[in-house]
Amino acid sequence: MKRFRPSREVFFLAALLLLLAGFSAFIAIRQAQIEEAEQVFVRYSSHSARDDGTLALYEWASTLGYRSQRIENTAFRVGDQVKLLFVFAPSETIESGEARYLLQWVERGNTLFAADNGSIITNGLFRALEVKTDALKTSVERVTLTQPLADATIQELRVGTIFSGLDTKRSDVVEYIRADKPLLLRIPHGRGTIWIASAPALLSNENLRHADNAKFARAILASAPSGSAIAFDEYHLGFKPESENSLLNAIYNTPWGWGLLFTGLILFGYLVVNGQRFGRTVPVQRTLARRTPSEYVISMANLFRRANKRGMVLQHYRHALKRRLGRPFHLSPDVSDDHYVELITRMRPEMDRAALVRILNGLRRTDATEADLVKTVEQAVTFGKRAGKK
């Protein structure tokens, strides 16, 4: 019975079907991720109608005659017409430069309401105001004002469940809400006012259903002139400008980009299946044996011999001998031989002065024959070894 052996075309077709199935799964998963991302509601965002959003405050302010606007999807800047800015529990770091910008904006007579519950995100605004969050002894859900706010009678405020209060060493703050630590502070700054709270949920959609929280929100809104613009900081809640027009983003997140990816994968697979080598393989060269150190020494000696560099060799051994003898006493081998002999024999009286002078004179010769060179070098090496052992 003849055995069936699939051809290369069959393999390619099977691989193509598997690739198509895998890519279809990728498209379905990616599409679901995009749809899910579009439905995500950020806490304390004025886009969110959930209990922990602030859409109710945004819409209510518009109903009262204020021009509500959002700072989002652009560089962080507060419009010149904005008189009141809300910053709720930023999920992005407020840099020190942005904090200075906000404080300068307040100095011109505007109002800032900033609430943060002490997350791990660096709040440069709190740091610039010398305010930090600190844990409460017990969590709180309802609080009362420690002093009147506007003309409204406010009995009890709902703040969700908070675990942290405010801590500052400033002397110009006014406490409006307190548990065992302050929860709401008013800080005058230039011609404007800053409200600092550790309860972002104070003005959330859920809590604005209660009359006292609504009265509190109305009192905060009253700090801005009627009909003026108020802004909500969505920038530090993650609504930053994105490079939606970038090629990589378009390929990864759009159907036509997925089509390009699939086409590229098919072409790559076709080239892999039908590709051939470009020319014959080149054998790897065998590793050549390297010369031994002894061959190098012999070669250098032969070069010196041919060039008649006996004086250079003698000079080398002369310096080597002086360096070896004078190393314990830090004597330089570059000093004159007479001065060197005087110094070394003074430090080592047992050294044979006459033998040392004779060897140094022999090493200074310029007319030495090859036999004289070998003999003098041998004497220098022997003298150096013998003197080094003593």
Give yes or no: residues 160 and 16 share one domain.
no
Residues 63 and 72: their CA atoms lie apart, in Å, by 22
In this prediction, residue 306 carries a pLDDT of 76
Q: Which amino acid is at 92?
A: E
* Residue 118: pLDDT band with limits 50, 70, 90: confident
Model confidence at 278: pLDDT above 60 = no
Question: What's residue 200's pLDDT?
Answer: 93
Rg of the chain's alpha carbons, rounded to an integer?
44
Residue 289 forms part of a structural domain: no
Whether residue 207 sits in one domain with residue 120: yes
Residues 134, 95, single domain; the answer is yes
Residues 353 and 250 in one domain: no
Average pLDDT over residues 162-186: 92
DSSP assignments along 169-232, one per residue? --SS-EEEEESSSEEEEEEEETTEEEEEES-GGGGSTTGGGSHHHHHHHHHHHTTSPTT-EEEE
Greater pLDDT, 4 or 376: 376
Q: Which residue has the higher pLDDT, 299 or 212?
A: 212
Residue whose tokens read 């700072």: 71
Which range, 94-103, 268-277, 380-389, has the best average confidence (pLDDT)? 94-103
Domain end (from 195, 218, 237)? 237
At 228 the pLDDT is 95
With tokens 């910053």, the residue in question is 87
pLDDT surpassing 70 at residue 230: yes
Q: Which of 380, 333, 339 is nearest to 356 (CA)?
A: 380
What the block records as the tokens of 88 is 């709720």
In degrees and rounded to multiples of 5, residue 323 shows phi and psi of: -65, -40
| Mean pLDDT across 304-331 | 80
Q: Are 354 and 209 contained in the same domain?
A: no
- What Cα–Cα distance (Å) separates residue 163 from each residue in 43, 86, 144, 182, 198? 17, 21, 16, 12, 9
Q: Assess whether 187 and 261 both reside in one domain.
A: no
Q: How confident is the model at residue 153 (pLDDT cuts 50, 70, 90)?
A: confident
Q: Give domain status of residue 3, yes or no.
A: no
Between residues 218 and 344, which one has the greater pLDDT?
218
Does the residue 140 lie in any domain? Answer: yes
Examine the domain organization and report whether 148 and 206 are in the same domain: yes
Q: What is the pLDDT of residue 277?
A: 56
Tally of CB atoms within 10 A around 266: 16
Q: Looking at the domain assignment, is residue 319 inside a domain?
A: yes
Q: What is the mean pLDDT of residues 266-294?
A: 69
Q: How many structural domains compose the chain?
A: 3
Task: With a cut of 50, say whether residue 244 has pLDDT above it.
Answer: no
pLDDT per residue as tens digits for the range 158-167: 998 889 999 9
* Residue 191 within a domain: yes
pLDDT of residue 363: 81
The per-residue pLDDT for range 345-355, each reduced to its tens digit, is 888 888 888 88
What domain range includes position 308?
A: 294-389
Q: Say if residue 19 is in the same domain as residue 97.
A: no
* Predicted local confidence at residue 325, as pLDDT: 82
- Cα dihedral sign for 332, 334, 336, 341? positive
The answer on pLDDT for 40 being more than 60 is no
Sign of CA dihedral 186, 189, 192, 196: negative
Same domain, 376 and 335: yes
Q: Are residues 155 and 130 in the same domain?
A: yes
Pick the closest to residue 325 from 362, 356, 363 (CA basis). 356
- What does the alpha-carbon distance between residue 82 and residue 246 come to, in Å, rounded to a whole number? 33
How does the average pLDDT of the chain come out, rounded? 83
The answer to whether residue 259 is domain-embedded is yes
Please check whether residue 49 lies inside any domain of the structure: no
Residue 139 belongs to a domain: yes
**Residues 217, 117 share a domain:** yes
The CATH number of the domain holding residue 96 is: 3.40.50
Same domain (yes/no): 215, 267: no
Specify the pLDDT at position 87. 96
